[in-house]
Structure 1
Amino acid sequence: MGRAFEFRKERKFKRWSKMAIQFTRLGKEIAMAVKESGPHPETNSRLRTVIQNAKAVNMPKDRIEAAIKRASDKDASTYEEHIYEGYAPHGVAILIETATDNINRTVANVRSYLTKAGGSLGKTGSLDFIFNRKSMFRFKADENIDLEELELELIDGGLEELYIEDDEDGNDIAVVQTSFEDFGNMQKLLESKGLQVIAKLERITLSTTEISEEDAADILKLIDKIEEDDDVQAVYHNMA
Structure 2
Amino acid sequence: MKIALIGYGRMGKAIHTLATQKGHTVTCTIDNPKEWNQMEKPLGLMADVAIEFSTPETATENLFRCLEEKIPVVCGTTGWLEHLEEISKAYKQEQGTLVWAPNFSPGVNLFFSLNQWLAQQMEAFPQYQTSLEEIHHTGKLDKPSGTAIHLAEQLIQAHKGLQAWKEAEAALEETGTIPITSERIEHVTGIHTVSWESEIDQITIRHTAKNRSGFALGAILAAEWIVEQKKRGVYPFNKVLFNTL
TM-score with structure 2 setting the length: 0.24
Greater helix share, structure number: 1
